[in-house]
């Protein structure tokens, strides 16, 4: 699931195009989206995660109400991937300027379903999707202000949890995405992420955090990492995306 907490400008565009790339059949695509752009984006994501996406259906939804009814998680959701059939759904607030980042994020969810099944813990999934989709940078100064942190391993789903340890509403969602991406950056600083992901195919990634990445206590290390990064983060990065 991809979320934005800041407004995205939209412009008038025509929809209804059917696109067919190697991996994706895209329904109701906007006029500006091309098969070439879809191929390029898919190739980049596939290379990062070393996986050829098995044929998926993607649909562009132009009616916000219908889109929200479909996912049931409220107005903040931009796009989502459905685990049941590996389909991707793009909402009306996505446009050419945020398409690659948003659709790339959802494609990563599909690859995580297809390649890793349940090997990647839920608390790392959104962060990995943002990290590999080259989404916005982690705002460590913002994150550091949320300390002391809840047990990060209890972050199950940014929208589903009623008593989410990360807090309720927009603040809780943001914490989930930002903390999850920061966790991926921390792990990548301690061991090779690529190798870690390879080790995790068919197994649980969590078991390798101790043995391969030498992270004894994820929560202790996370607290140290955030306060260290918050100190060195230049103020220019504090802008919201
Ligand atoms: Zn997501």
In the reported structure, the alpha carbon of residue 84 is separated from the centroid of ligand 1 by a whole-number distance in angstroms of: 15
Per residue in 115-147, is it b (16+ CB within 10 Å) or e — as a string? bbeebbbbbbbbbbbbbbbebbebbbbebbebe
Helices 122-132 and 35-49 meet at what angle, rounded to 10? Answer: 130
> For residues 190 and 215, is the Cβ–Cβ distance under 8 A?
yes
Contacts of 80 (CB under 8 A, 6+ apart): 1, 2, 71, 73, 88, 89, 106
Residue 84 pLDDT level (bands cut at 50, 70, 90): very high
Helices 35-49 + 99-111 axis angle, to 10: 50
pLDDT digit string, tens, across residues 124-179 = 999 999 998 877 789 999 999 999 999 999 988 766 654 456 666 778 888 999 99
Rounded distance from Cα 60 to ligand 1 centre (Å): 17
Compute the distance from residue 229 Cα to the ligand 1 centre, in Å.
Answer: 24
Ligand 1: centre distance to CA 127 (Å):
8
Contacts of 83 (CB under 8 A, 6+ apart): 109, 113
Tokens in use for 24? 């994706």
Average pLDDT over residues 10-30: 90
Q: How many residues does the chain have?
A: 241
Q: What is the pTM of this model?
A: 0.86
Q: How confident is the model at residue 48 (pLDDT cuts 50, 70, 90)?
A: confident
Ligand 1 centroid vs 2 CA: distance in angstroms? 4
Gap from CA of 176 to ligand 1 centroid (Å) = 10
Ligand 1 centroid, distance to 129 Cα (angstroms): 6
| 51 CA → ligand 1 middle, Å | 18
Percent of the chain with pLDDT over 70: 88
Distance of CA 240 to the CA centre of its chain: 17
Distance 105 CA to ligand 1 centre (A): 6
pLDDT class of 15 with cuts at 50, 70, 90: very high
The CA distance from 202 to 76, in Å, is 33
Q: Can you tell me the distance from the alpha carbon of 19 to that of 66, in angstroms, rounded to the nearest whole number? A: 22
CA of 1 to the centre of ligand 1 (A): 3
**Confidence grade of residue 232 (pLDDT, cut at 50, 70, 90):** confident
């Amino acid at each position: 699931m991809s979320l934005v907490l800041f407004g995205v400008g939209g412009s008038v565009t025509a929809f209804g195009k059917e696109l067919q790339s190697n991996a994706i059949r895209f329904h109701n695509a906007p006029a500006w989206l091309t098969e070439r752009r879809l191929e390029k984006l898919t190739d980049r994501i596939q290379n990062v995660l070393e996986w050829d996406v098995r044929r998926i259906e993607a649909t562009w939804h132009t009616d916000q109400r219908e889109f929200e009814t479909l996912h049931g998680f409220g107005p903040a959701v931009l796009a989502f991937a459905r685990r049941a059939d590996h389909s991707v759904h793009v909402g009306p607030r996505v446009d050419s300027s945020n398409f690659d980042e948003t659709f790339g994020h959802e494609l990563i969810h599909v690859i995580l379903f297809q390649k890793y099944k349940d090997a990647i813990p839920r608390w790392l999934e959104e962060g990995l999707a943002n990290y590999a989709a080259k989404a916005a940078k982690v705002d460590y100064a913002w994150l550091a202000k949320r300390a002391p942190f809840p047990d990060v391993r209890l972050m199950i789903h940014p929208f589903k949890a009623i008593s989410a340890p990360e807090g309720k509403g927009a603040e809780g969602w943001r914490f989930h995405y930002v903390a999850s991406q920061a966790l991926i950056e921390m792990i990548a600083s301690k061991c090779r992420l690529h190798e870690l992901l390879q080790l995790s195919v068919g197994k649980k990634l969590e078991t390798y955090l101790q043995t391969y990445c030498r992270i004894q206590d994820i929560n202790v290390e996370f607290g140290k990492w955030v306060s260290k990064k918050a100190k060195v983060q230049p103020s220019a990065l504090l802008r919201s995306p």
